[in-house]
A and B are shown apart, each in its own frame.
Chain A
Amino acid sequence: AQTVTQSQPEMSVQEAETVTLSCTYDTSENNYYLFWYKQPPSRQMILVIRQEAYKQQNATENRFSVNFQKAAKSFSLKISDSQLGDTAMYFCAFMKHAGVTGTASKLTFGTGTRLQVTL
């Protein structure tokens, strides 16, 4: 079974600054995906960024980037130029790769980090 750990329940950052959210995971799988989801006060789950384990290059999406350390099983999210709209709960999640069988796979979530962006 997989586990995902987010050790920072709450964080705060000033607008325009950079913040890093931490995530570690444990798995015996070699092929998998890692995700960061954002949940604003509206409650909607929004996919922010994903990383495939076989790719060494860290994923980036505009102001969001990850630091993926496969050997250390670490997957942190960096938000640059923080904006008020980034205020949300952020969840790290793991999914085993479906592989050639195409079977569906389940998401395992961390407990979340509540990020507050302040003026």
Chain B
Amino acid sequence: NAGVTQTPKFQVLKTGQSMTLQCAQDMNHEYMSWYRQDPGMGLRLIHYSVGAGITDQGEVPNGYNVSRSTTEDFPLRLLSAAPSQTSVYFCASSYLGAYEQYFGPGTRLTVT
């Protein structure tokens, strides 16, 4: 039982490049979400999903796309990276309606 996994752990991008942050969970959780963590800002919700085929925007969705084709995977796409997207990204999952969320180890992304 791996829990929530995220790849890569670290990434450096140049402005304008695209990439996908991967998130997978093996607990059959319906709910998955992406947060970004910036100094002095705490964690802010980017996008979330309540099941395969269903996604919705969080607090800071601009510049990010998501899709949920399977229960296990919830990738986060940056179509054209900007320096403002330099951050640590966390994926989290839970059973629908459950209070406890399981966090992945995070991805540190730097955009130069």
Contacts and interface: CB of A to CB of B under 8 A. Distances in A.
B96 A43 contact: no
A50 B99 contact: yes
Given A91-B43, A103-B50, A111-B41, A45 B97 contact: no
B99 A109 contact: no
Nearest to A35: B99
Contact residue range for chain A?
Answer: 20 to 34
B106 A109 contact: no
A86 B50 CA distance: 34
Interface of A is mostly: loop
B73 interface: no
Contacts of B42: 4, 6, 91, 109-112
B96 A104 contact: yes
A104 B50 contact: yes
A106 B58 contact: yes
A64 interface: no
A104 B97 contact: yes
B31 A104 contact: yes
Nearest to B51: A104
Nearest to A107: B101
A111 B40 CA distance: 5
B109 interface: no
Interface in B1-53: 30-31, 33, 35, 40-45, 48, 50
Contacts of B48: 104, 106
Contacts of A99: 97
Nearest to A95: B99
Interface of B: 30-31, 33, 35, 40-45, 48, 50, 58, 88, 90, 92, 94, 96-101, 103, 105-106
Interface of A: 4, 6, 9, 33, 35, 42-45, 47, 50, 91, 95, 98-99, 101-112
Given A45-B43, A91-B43, A107-B92, 7 more contacts: A43-B88, A45-B90, A104-B96, A105-B97, A110-B42, A111-B41, A111-B42
10 contacts: A33-B99, A45-B90, A45-B103, A104-B94, A104-B97, A106-B45, A106-B48, A109-B35, A109-B44, A110-B42
